[in-house]
Amino acid sequence: MVTLDRPVREASFELLLKENQRFAERYRGSNLMCLIQSKQMEDKENRERLLDSIQIFSDYFQKTIMLRSVFCDDLEFLSVVQLHLNEEFGHNFKLMKDRKYRAPVWHPVLEATAAWFAWKMLTLDNAEKTVLIHLVLEASANIFFSAAHKVMCDYGETDYFEVHAQADAEHEQMGSELLARLCAEKYVSLMTIQQQGWDMLNAACDQIAYLSTHS
């Protein structure tokens, strides 16, 4: 039987946020973060392959936030969901244009890990979706896009990273107040999906790093 590497035994809002900092710190040392800050980004083919791989994740991210909006009936969450969708809508097409509409890569692991987030918008509740979207996807995007923008802006090939580098710190915080006053058992499910979300995100980013440097 497959189980979480660290089953959640103790859970609270404070622990949820503390754990997220731990996941985020670990992400700073990931293969993708090392790659984006390495000399390998001086190679144009590597940069193109990086963007071709990010396109897959970006396309699924759009599906994820649209599905979240479509299936949200809770007025408390809806304002956050809609504001976030408005700020993100169509960004994947901007990347497509900057890539001159090249065919993106296809890899089963990248496809499956990126699609997992969209699938979870059909099965989770609003609080759990908020954890996946803001504490996992936006927190990691904030770290990655800030570093990527500094590197990629020298080449003038895309400004896709610029808008994210500016907006994602705010996107990470969106909705966290809606997670602050839940019952004790709820935090167990939130911290479980948090761990699963970071696992999937890390698997996707490892695959993006690999595909960026291997043809």
Cβ of residue 91: shortest distance to Fe ion, in angstroms? 8
Per the listing, tokens 């996941």 go with 23
| Residue 129 vs 171, nearer CB to Fe ion | 171
CA distance between the termini of the chain: 35
Cβ of residue 16: shortest distance to Fe ion, in angstroms? 20
Q: Are 196 and 123 in contact (CB under 8 A)?
A: no
| Residue 99 vs 171, nearer CB to Fe ion | 171
Of 115, 131, 138, the residue nearest 197 (C-alpha): 131
| Residue 52 vs 168, nearer CB to Fe ion | 168
* 168 binds Fe ion, rule: CB under 5 A: yes
How many residues make contact with Fe ion (CB under 5 A)?
Answer: 2
Cα within 13 Å of Cα(5), Cβ side? 5
Cβ of residue 142: shortest distance to Fe ion, in angstroms? 8
Q: Are 40 and 209 in contact (CB under 8 A)?
A: no
Cβ of residue 138: shortest distance to Fe ion, in angstroms? 5
Give the range of 4-12, 72-80, 152-160, 171-179 binding Fe ion by CB under 5 A: 171-179
Rounded to an integer, what distance in angstroms lies between the CA atom of residue 19 and that of residue 31?
Answer: 20
Residues near Fe ion (CB under 5 A) are 168, 171
